[in-house]
Structure 1
Amino acid sequence: MKELVSVLMSTYKEPVVWVEKAVNSILNQTYKNIEFVVIIDDPTNYEVIAFIESVCQKDNRVKLIKNEKNIGLVASLNKGLKFCDGKYIARMDADDISMLDRIEKQIIAIQRYCADVVGANTQTFTEQSVCKEKIIYSSSWACKQVLYWCNCCPHPTWLVKKEIYIKLCGYRDIKACEDYDFLIRASLAGAKIINCPEVLLLYRDNASSISHVNNYHQQVIAEYIAEGYRNGRVMALAEINAFLHSEQYQKRMLKLKACSQKHKTAVRIKLSLMLRNKYIAFVKYCDYGVRKLRKK
């Protein structure tokens, strides 16, 4: 019998039409042995609650957890992990859409390559258009190199062995960077991280998402915890909290904001320039890794 996969999704203020598409994309997966753990983190989002409750009545694979009050993404995910019974845990965001063969392909990859975490390529979309797919790196070697500088696996594409979540005690409360921090801790604990090169998720470009709203903060914190990873260690929460209240943090934030005022994409340009030299050195190896992965 196929292994049980728990799909973990938290909802906040997403409109019900978005949530419907996300939910349907999971329940209609070609890989059928799943359970769907849905956490409602906005108890006043009555339309979404009513929709999920109606789905629960039709499909017993869905587990609904309603928070009495908003507790945030990290706390909601950690709460949801306690309800996950599968050997593997897949992440999903309430405003995205999974390809119908996503889980099936990721299960094949995680077993074939003896991996602990499997992400996938994504394609960004809005209500008006579909953008180009994001370029990601497939091999474990390439993912590790990218991780020294930034996130190597889009969070809503993850398929993770449950034992990794247990070993790391879930997510740490690092606003807008809980996923990057998790991957760093997983890597330092010896986890093998890879990506499926195929597009397995449509990623909604949502202006109200956490990554958009906390763009500056996210990049400054990511750079800070990456420094720890490059030195072979996990930044302690006390260190991160001290940094958040430091003059150094304020200076980095002001620098990023100054750049963005000059050009709308200056923040991303700055990040790209910082990573460019590192990327160039191993891009050819990444391409080789992808080709090798596809041939096996």
Structure 2
Amino acid sequence: MPLMKPNIRWNASLLKSQKLACTLRIRRCVGEKSGRRLSLMRPEISVLMSVYNGERYLSEAVESILRQTFSDFEYIIFDDGSTDRSWDILTKYAGQDQRIRLFRNATNLGLTKTLNKGLTLARGTYIARQDADDISLSERFAQQVAYMEAHPSVALVSTGVQYIHEHASQQWVDMPPHDPLMLRWLLLFWNPIKHSTVLWRRELVTSRVGHYNPSFVYAQDYDLWVRMAEHLSIATLPLVLVTMRWHDEAISVANITPQDAFGIQIIRHQLRRYFPHTYFTEQEVTQLRCIPQQKDGYHSTYLWQLTSSQLEQAGRLYFQLWKQFRKVEGVSKNDPQRWVLLHHKIEQDLVALLRYCKHRKWLRSGARLIRLYLQSSPQRAGSFGAMLLRRFWSSVPRSECV
């Protein structure tokens, strides 16, 4: 199955300004002269990649960066103590393209510390990330730089992802929401921004947020996005510009349990913004994460472990959080498009939970979830509330509606 290609018409709409188009053409020409860059010129992008025993997919990953149509970048690559052929592969490419700055850790430092070393060496206006088993489509940097220059208030931009399973022909797309406030809401439960898709303003983020938290061995990207979102604006391009492999050796697959442990710390930190005087246990946070629909399997895996009373408790916290989120972030009917967008997401989650309750024959729990939602959002008790009650309670025995 062919990979999804970026929508070039969207790129054209970004380049309406003749000045911007001219600037981008000049920058591309600077980087395209035989793969060389002038040492005294600051590159537009610093691409960071850490490699640990990644020989299997490494060549494809490196070549996907070197073939970018936007070529004004430096490519900072660390071999993090590999014991396979990764170093030999990297030295071959470094000898062919002077944009590559190759380093080797004496011992394995891990992803977080290695990326922080790369950030201290970076000189670019922007930072881009690339993992050793992912593929960036050739227009990725051109699209992202164009977006950032057209939106100077945005600190970070990510893209959609196409996943490929290593043992099957199955492919699927994950597209984070474009709305910044919707991203803030989803970050309360999991990380919707994939590490290999980001491009951010180096000096702005360093001065306002800093680097990766060295205490986070896993989920270091999730922690950084959350801290960015608290102080800066982040966005998503509605394009698939990165292909990611889903295989057993991938960090997100091989370390699901440690990732969850660090993720719970990050969620607990965020909850303090909305409930400053409440302490949430690990169990409460784990149960809360089961409520919103997710695409990474967490929802279905952990939801089945809850009892009906635990589901109701998690639902109560979810709708309380939704009420506080609207209050703290200033979500109101004065912004009708965003108001409807966010409520639509909450109601999607609620409908999915009601289907689950019917499947488990937890009809009373389903009825209570409806009440909890309408109590948190009484303004939605009109047509949506009536429709929901009719559809759900039509199959609920009267004895269960008490």
TM normalised by structure 2 equals 0.59
Q: Unaligned stretches of 5+ in structure 1?
A: 234-242, 260-264, 285-296
| Structure 1 SS opposite 2:121 | coil
C-alpha distance in 2 between matches for 1:252 and 1:144: 20
| Structure 2 SS opposite 1:223 | helix
2:50 partner letter = S
C-alpha distance in 2 between matches for 1:281 and 1:254: 23
Tell me if the contact between 1:220 and 1:253 (Cα under 8 Å) persists in the aligned partners.
no
How far the C-alpha of 1:198 sits from its partner, in A, is 0.7
* 1:56 counterpart = 2:94: yes
Aligned with 1:94 (options 112, 132, 156): 132
Task: After superposing the two structures, state which structure 1 stretch, 87-96 or 138-147, moved more.
Answer: 138-147
Q: Unaligned stretches of 5+ in structure 2?
A: 1-25, 28-42, 275-279, 291-295, 304-310, 323-340, 347-402
Q: How many positions carry a matched residue from both structures?
A: 261
Could you tell me which residue of structure 1 aligns to residue 232 of structure 2?
A: 191
* CA displacement 1:25-70 (0-9 Å, x = unmatched): 000001010111101012423x221111111111100010100010
Aligned with 2:78 (options 39, 43, 51): 39
Could you tell me which residue of structure 2 aligns to residue 22 of structure 1?
A: 61
C-alpha distance in 1 between matches for 2:233 and 2:271: 17
Tell me if the contact between 1:119 and 1:159 (Cα under 8 Å) persists in the aligned partners.
yes
Tell me if the contact between 1:43 and 1:68 (Cα under 8 Å) persists in the aligned partners.
no
1:186 partner letter = M
How far the C-alpha of 1:280 sits from its partner, in A, is 6.8
Aligned with 1:203 (options 209, 222, 244): 244
Tell me if the contact between 1:126 and 1:205 (Cα under 8 Å) persists in the aligned partners.
yes
Aligned pairs for 1:155-194 within 5 A: 155-167=195-207, 168-172=209-213, 173-188=215-230, 190-194=231-235
Point out 4+ residue stretches in structure 1 off by more than 4 angstroms.
251-255, 270-280
How far the C-alpha of 1:133 sits from its partner, in A, is 0.3
* CA displacement 1:6-35 (0-9 Å, x = unmatched): 110000111x24000000000000101011
C-alpha distance in 2 between matches for 1:32 and 1:69: 32
How far the C-alpha of 1:147 sits from its partner, in A, is 1.7
Aligned with 2:187 (options 127, 141, 147): 147
1:280–1:143 CA distance, 2 compared to 1 (3 A): closer
Tell me if the contact between 1:150 and 1:223 (Cα under 8 Å) persists in the aligned partners.
no
Tell me if the contact between 1:118 and 1:195 (Cα under 8 Å) persists in the aligned partners.
yes
Could you tell me which residue of structure 2 aligns to residue 83 of structure 1?
A: 121
* CA displacement 1:121-168 (0-9 Å, x = unmatched): 001113332411013111222212222222231111110111244223
Tell me if the contact between 1:9 and 1:37 (Cα under 8 Å) persists in the aligned partners.
yes
1:178 partner letter = Q
C-alpha distance in 2 between matches for 1:64 and 1:26: 14
Tell me if the contact between 1:123 and 1:130 (Cα under 8 Å) persists in the aligned partners.
no
| Structure 2 SS opposite 1:38 | strand
- Percent identical pairs in the alignment equals 27
C-alpha distance in 2 between matches for 1:267 and 1:149: 10
Aligned with 1:281 (options 343, 348, 351): 343
- The root-mean-square deviation of aligned C-alpha atoms, in Å, is 3.1
Tell me if the contact between 1:89 and 1:162 (Cα under 8 Å) persists in the aligned partners.
yes
| Relative contact order higher in (CA < 8 Å, ≥ 6 apart) | 1
Task: After superposing the two structures, state which structure 1 stretch, 205-214 or 4-13, moved more.
Answer: 205-214
C-alpha distance in 1 between matches for 2:98 and 2:186: 40
